[in-house]
A and B are shown apart, each in its own frame.
Chain A
Amino acid sequence: MLKNSCSIIPKRSDVINWKIAFGELTDATKVGEILEAESRLPQTKAKKLYRGVSEAMTNVSQHAYMDLRNDGAEIIGDKGWWMFCREEENHISVAFCDLGVGIPITLPKTIEENHEENMFKSILCKLFTDKKKYSDGELIRAAIEVKRSRTQKRHRGKGLLDMIKAIDTTQGGRLVILSNKGGYLYNLNNSNPSEDVKNYKDSIFGTLILWSLPVSRNTEVKL
């Protein structure tokens, strides 16, 4: 990903057994082929994961590389994304990442484009009290709440909700969105969704989205 080669050859099964796709545009052909090849993954779940990953990819095309990336690599014109997929026992994990400027940086622009400044501010106050500066995790959490708003017009981006939709009817489903220094976690256990915000000392200089879900059919729940 950083365009450097490494002489270490990994051997651990949880490191080497990943199917990989990468690209720069929203061309989800390889991603779709990988998900469809997971023979134990029911088609409905594969379609939901495809929804989440293809929207994450669209976000990369449209926003993620709006400025020079923050890792100091000074690579200009790169719009790369990477997808990793691994099935083990009864679980499938799908990770999607980019090295763009991160959701907390792209948010002000997309919020302004969609004329959602007031709604965003009011949601931030409601969720985390009124303060001058919000953490990256809080910004991601509030962005998701904006997308949930009933008054929000559908033609505005709904990509973040597609990421939740990928697992929101799967018992034991888990979504993690990490971007720069912030994290958002969504879990579905015993039919009850739970959400959490995390903040970290260091930045990952980009965005990593991880879906994890059981593959068996009887984990589908109605909310």
Chain B
Amino acid sequence: MNTITTTIIDIGRDFSRYPAGRYETDGPFSGELFRAKFLVPVLDSNGHVTIELDETAGYGSSFLEEAFGGLVRLGYSSTQIKNTITLHSEDPSLLEEIEEYILDAEQG
């Protein structure tokens, strides 16, 4: 029997309470860095992760788009992303926004 390990990542606790910027060249807590550090390794290991989004000061669209939409540009499919990453937030508009970034990136 195969078992899948689920990891819980709280962005505010495990990455930064103040995420900002798209690329690593923009600043120290960018979407690109978050993606490389926390999302890509889980996708590559066929694991599962729950991302807790609410314990931060907020998010700009550049950070969110690069972190999540950027996964599609790296070659992961939206289905693979959805099966691997569960997002948690009390703000439904934030979840919708991230989903849009993933689907828009897939449409090119």
Contacts and interface: CB of A to CB of B under 8 A. Distances in A.
A161 B97 CA distance: 13
Given A47-B57, A162-B60, A155 B26 contact: no
A35 interface: yes
Interface stretch (A20-28, A115-123, A177-185): A20-28
A198 interface: no
Interface residues of A, number: 31
B104 A55 contact: no
B62 A159 contact: yes
Nearest to B65: A155
A54 B58 contact: yes
Interface stretch (B17-25, B40-48, B80-88): B17-25
A116 to B, nearest CB: 15
Interface residues of B, number: 32
B105 interface: yes
A27 B57 contact: no
B20 A26 contact: yes
Contact of B60 (A27, A36, A58, A153): A58
Interface in A26-43: 26-29, 31-33, 35-36
B28 A50 contact: no
B34 interface: no
B27 A25 contact: yes
Given A26-B20, A26-B26, A155 B69 contact: yes
B68 to A, nearest CB: 10
Interface string B69-108: 1100100000000000000000000000000110011011
A12 B16 CA distance: 37
A54 B69 contact: no
A159 to B, nearest CB: 7
B20 to A, nearest CB: 4
Given A35-B57, A47-B58, A27 B69 contact: no
A154 B73 CA distance: 13
Given A153-B104, A155-B105, A28 B18 contact: yes
Nearest to A56: B60
A61 B27 contact: yes
A49 B61 CA distance: 13
Contacts of A62: 22-23, 26
5 contacts: A25-B21, A47-B57, A50-B18, A51-B58, A55-B62
Given A27-B27, A51-B61, 5 more contacts: A26-B27, A51-B58, A54-B20, A58-B62, A153-B108
